[in-house]
Amino acid sequence: MAISLSSLSTYLLLLVASFGVLAKGLLDPHFYDKVCPQALPVIKSIVEDAIKQEGRMGASLLRLHFHDCFVNGCDGSVLLDDTDTFIGEKNAAPNVNSLRGFEVIDRIKSALYYVCRGNIVSCADIVAVAARDSVVALGGPSYKVELGRRDARTASQAAANNSIPAPTLDFSGLVSNFASHGLTIQDLVLLSGAHTLGFARCTTFRARLYNETWTLDGSLATSLKYICPSESGDGDDNLAQLDSTPVKFDTVYYDWLMQRKGLLHSDQQLYKGDGSGSDGLVKFYSQNSWGRLDPMGILGNFIFLP
């Protein structure tokens, strides 16, 4: 089975349009070309430097973007600290002691304030572009990011708790969660491919490790038990890689799912090996390199505006 780049691009354009036709006219990948032409090169340089210092940071910046977008759209609300009038998203269950990369975003903001002579570039756009540049720096495909997003002035911890998909969700729960954001099963499988990067904390996969032995590769389970003890509170923050190449953007994640090596319960739910659910999509994407696909363009071009 083959997929053409042109047909996939057409699909992505239709998907992007579905997020809000009225907002589309406000966004443009060249939004800062005249007002601050140095903006994108500055973001790229700082992201590359951060990843050079710590390879894991690329995954962290990509995850930061995902968690921002899944709560009322890509509006930078994930960056806001608590105030007297709202409780923000940083301490929501999916984010607390887990979400990273804030210091890199702060570095970018400071640099852009200097080169652009003011607050020209929105925080929401910084997060979106930093995610794209992280993918590219780690060997993934580049994609255009629509720019000109407005920054949120409020945030909601409750919305973050309710909107961001949990690693414990079954397949039906994942499908429902993505559908609530206007996304399909295909989008679910494509965006889950971002788990080709990074690591997960013991607390997120302990239940799977000790209670789902029939769906977890035995040799992997044995090695994980050295990292993640069975007792809660013991090694909770210990990290395990999501696939065998955690700092390379490739398709090994899908290969691991087909080998019963999905680290998170929600990952392995995408492939059960019986031809049901999204088995066919996982098998298909395992056979197509990211050079021919643009999955992160889906997330990069969310068009929710406050």
- Would you list which residues are annotated within the binding site? 68, 71, 73, 75, 77, 89, 165, 195-196, 243, 245, 250
Residues forming the annotated binding site for heme b? 195
Residue 299: in which H helix or E strand, if any? helix 296-300
Tally DSSP H helices, then E strands, for the chain: 15, 2
Structure tokens at 231: 């007792």
The answer to whether residue 265 is catalytic is: no
- DSSP-assigned beta bridge partners for residue 147: 28
**The one catalytic residue among 30, 65, 67, 181:** 67
> DSSP per residue over 12-42, as a string?
HHHHHHTT-HHHHTT-BTTTTTTT-TTHHHH
- Which residues are annotated as part of the binding site for Ca(2+)? 68, 71, 73, 75, 77, 89, 196, 243, 245, 250
Do residues 242 and 267 lie in contact, with contact meaning Cβ atoms separated by under 8 Å? Answer: yes
Task: Report H helices in 57-215.
Answer: 57-69, 102-115, 123-137, 157-163, 171-179, 185-192, 202-211
**Residue 239: which H helix or E strand, with range?**
strand 239-241
Binding residues for substrate: 165
Cα–Cα dist 272/171, whole Å: 10
Q: Are strands 239-241 and 199-201 parallel, antiparallel or unpaired?
A: antiparallel
Q: How far apart are CA 195 and CA 217, in angstroms?
A: 18
Per the CB < 8 A criterion, the answer to whether 95 and 103 are in contact is no
Count other Cβ atoms within 10 Å, centred on residue 78: 31
Instruction: Pull the structure tokens for residue 172.
Output: 């039906």
Which 3 state secondary structure label does DSSP give 147?
Answer: strand
Whether residue 290 contacts residue 143, with contact meaning beta carbons closer than 8 Å, is answered with no
Any idea which residues carry the catalytic annotation?
A: 67
